[in-house]
Amino acid sequence: MRYEIKGESMPVVICNLQNGESLNCEAGAMSWMSPNMKMETSGGGAGKMLGRLFSGEAMFQNKYTAYGGEGMIAFASSMPGSILALQITPDHPVIVQKRGYLASESGVNLSVSFQKKGLSGFFGGEGFIMQKLSGNGTAFVEIDGSTVEYVLAQGQQIIVNTGNIAMMDATCSIDIQQVQGVKNVLFGGEGLFNTIITGPGKIVLQTMPLSSLSASISSALPNKG
């Protein structure tokens, strides 16, 4: 497979497949393709379907295969941001944000990842249920806004707004910490809890999570009340 990511604020990844090569994607992700790309829709079993539903994806996935020669298929971002290409290997699974998965080679497995440590299961919000990419192959994920990367050493921590977590190595862990001080909680505007990511591993943060974008648009709309 060859691919090219085009565009800036609203990117698209254009993939060229050899005869017989396949790509999986979430339902409705295809933007355009050559006539010799054939689609097959599958749920993959009740467990996988339920896991995709929990992680913000459609219950069914589409598989596109090139027949009779080289095929082309494109997947566009659903909102302003970036598309990242990830190389997934058996010893390097990656955790991505809910709804972050866009498409992947057929050797990549998509499953739900629950962040269970400490109180994160109860108060982790968007970061509680994430997506795990494992197996072997190239995967494409959507990022909201621009990206900032950090590599955390063993035991090194960073405090993040949960919505700003785009992806992280599976070696990293997530926990939460209650904001201290009554005034900080009531007037700080950051909520009751902070998300703590602990290394080792690489993390990718996003500058404009969907929740923040929605809040900004809502605040700018005229009040019809």
Domains, the chain, in order of start with CATH, read 2-208 (3.60.160.10)
* Helix H or strand E segment including 53: helix 46-54
Q: Residue 102 phi/psi, 5° resolution?
A: -115, -55
**The pLDDT value given to residue 172:** 94
Q: How far is CA 166 from CA 37, 82, 141, 183, 212, in A?
A: 30, 11, 9, 30, 14
Residue 221 exposed, middle or buried by CB count within 10 Å (0-12, 13-18, 19+): exposed
CB 203 within 8 A of CB 167: yes
46: which 2 tokens?
Answer: 């009740």
**The pLDDT value given to residue 58:** 59
Q: What is the mean predicted confidence (pLDDT) over 43-66?
A: 64
Report if pTM > 0.95: no
Give bridge partners of residue 73 from the DSSP assignment.
15, 33
Give bridge partners of residue 92 from the DSSP assignment.
89
Residue 149 exposed, middle or buried by CB count within 10 Å (0-12, 13-18, 19+): exposed
The stretches of 37-138 forming alpha helices (DSSP H) are: 46-54, 120-123
Banded model confidence at residue 120, pLDDT cuts 50, 70, 90 = very low
52: which 2 tokens?
Answer: 């995709």
